[in-house]
Structure 1
Amino acid sequence: MAIVGRWPRAIFYDSKTTLFDWAWSWREAARAYIEKYGLDTSVDDFVERWVRNFEGYQRIAAFGQYTPITGVSMKNALADTFQQYGVDGDAATDIQVFEQLQEQVPLFPDTEAALLAQKELGVKIIIYSDVEAKYLRMYVEKFERFQPDLVATTDEAGYHKPNPWTYRWVLNKMGLEPRDVIYCAAPVFDIQGAMATGMIAAHLRRKEGRLSRATHTPGVVPADYEIESLHELTTIVEFNRYPERYRRQG
């Protein structure tokens, strides 16, 4: 049971590239497209172009009308990528390769153990994603023992990340204030919206499963914490909720 007055009361997680290796499905789909169309390019280069095109669509969608991420933004980004490679492909058909891979998207090795440990510290665990609900359900079903307190998607809220309204929708649903929560994500884009909403943020810099090779995003506000694994976040949460444990050790 959570102890009244302990902080944080909840950890608010992004899903893709944070808890689940979504980038795996991008690479596998890219490999299939390269083979199908005989492209003289690497998987990494194809994915980098596709991601950049996709991010452009997502930035437009973030403060406008909700747009399905896979069925619209990723498909349109794939069409742009084909055009850049001079491919006469049908993105509406080829995006199905990516969609069929979603059931196989794996957990990162540290995900379930870390979430179980964090829940034992008395915090609520929220998993929230831009991906369509049917795919998020596929990812969450990978857990063998862990049960999150809330699983939801931006299509339910009607706003994409990093629009502050989408984070507030989750907080209202859970009866939480921004000051109650630590937000954790790998995408810098997500972190900026969470901080604008008033949450403390932890930027997860995974060495594996990164969607883009870019290592620096200019003009962003640094997160409160920089971590390389979810186990580091467990330590941060324990230190804040139970500082007396660390005083005893000292």
Structure 2
Amino acid sequence: MAIHAVVFDVNETLFSLAPVRDRMVEVGLGADRLEPWFRAILVDGIAAAAAGRFVAFPDLARHHLDVELRRGGQPADDATIARVLAGFEQTTPHDDVGPAFEQLRSAGVRIATLTNGTAAITRAFLERCDLDVLVDEVWDVEAAGSWKPTPAPYHWAVERLGLPADRVAMVAVHPWDIQGAMATGLVGAFLERPGAAGYPSGFPRPDHRAASLTDLVARLAT
């Protein structure tokens, strides 16, 4: 069945968090603290969603950065935290993002983004990289009142697109995001970027998977 719209996750799917890691190093944290920090944000945000509550990504990001700084014996003042989080304003797209978006546009497939982060950060990223003209919708999960992978954000996105769920694909590097999308009827397209943890064998297999975004969207746009 033809795909009429593709919804993209943002953090790590479209851009690397390397600039945030660089800022963490600048304030005295180890480069290896990025992944535990980001994972803690996701765990708490998803746990809150499972309990029927919504907590904004920036609030959790600041909280867990405060924890990291204190554990590392570094100042945890507002200026230091803001300096690290400003790394999100320096992100650049993975090399395959622009070509993949162009492929979809050429095929007449609509493009949307849906992040557990903020639409403002996504929009600034797209504008900074001249990709905004290729994207139809820029969303975060706040309007849905729940984080991915709970059903609400996917249902909300499909409703906004005005399409049947099976005509919409979700692209992400996070297996849990693919599982949430597939459980609500969307097509799951797993992007297995180099260095990623891979796809858990206990999860139902994604509908599509590839190591590059251009290869993945080529399968969706046919």
Same fold per superposition (TM over 0.5): yes
Q: Do 1:102 and 1:138's aligned partners in 2 also have CA atoms closer than 8 Å? A: no
Q: Do 1:75 and 1:95's aligned partners in 2 also have CA atoms closer than 8 Å? A: yes
CA 1:216 to 1:186, structure 2 compared with 1: closer, same or farther past 3 Å? closer
The answer for the alignment partner of 2:22 in structure 1 is 28
Paired residue type of 1:67 = V
Whether 2:86 is the aligned partner of 1:100: answer yes
Query: Which string of whole-angstrom CA distances, capped at 9 and with x for unpartnered residues, describes residues 96-127 of structure 1?
Result: 02332222110111111111111111211111
The answer for the alignment partner of 2:110 in structure 1 is 124
1:127 match: secondary structure: strand
CA RMSD, 1 decimal? 2.2
**TM-score, length basis structure 2:** 0.88
Instruction: For residue 169 of structure 1, report the CA deviation from its aligned partner.
Output: 0.6
Whether 2:217 is the aligned partner of 1:229: answer no
Q: Do 2:20 and 2:85's aligned partners in 1 also have CA atoms closer than 8 Å? A: no
Query: Which string of whole-angstrom CA distances, capped at 9 and with x for unpartnered residues, describes residues 157-202 of structure 1?
Result: 2221111111111110110121111111112221121111111111
State which drifts further: 199-208 or 216-225: 216-225
Paired residue type of 1:68 = A
CA 1:84 to 1:59, structure 2 compared with 1: closer, same or farther past 3 Å? farther
The correspondence for 2:8, drawn from 1, 8, 13, is 13
Paired residue type of 1:65 = R
5+ residue gaps, structure 2, are none
Instruction: For residue 83 of structure 1, report the CA deviation from its aligned partner.
Output: 4.5
**Mapping for residues 1-250 of structure 1, pairs under 5 Å:** 7-21=2-16, 23-34=17-28, 42-43=30-31, 45-63=32-50, 64-70=52-58, 72-85=59-72, 87=73, 89-90=75-76, 92-144=78-130, 146-207=133-194, 214-215=197-198, 217=200, 219-239=202-222
**TM-score, length basis structure 1:** 0.79
Q: Which structure has the bigger radius of gyration? A: 1
1:203 match: secondary structure: strand
1:119 match: secondary structure: helix
Percent of aligned positions that are identical: 26
CA 1:51 to 1:16, structure 2 compared with 1: closer, same or farther past 3 Å? closer
Paired residue type of 1:27 = R
Q: Do 2:171 and 2:178's aligned partners in 1 also have CA atoms closer than 8 Å? A: yes
Paired residue type of 2:106 = E
Instruction: For residue 219 of structure 1, report the CA deviation from its aligned partner.
Output: 4.2
Paired residues in the alignment total: 220
Paired residue type of 2:15 = F
2:12 match: secondary structure: coil
Q: Do 1:171 and 1:178's aligned partners in 2 also have CA atoms closer than 8 Å? A: yes
5+ residue gaps, structure 1, are 1-5, 240-250
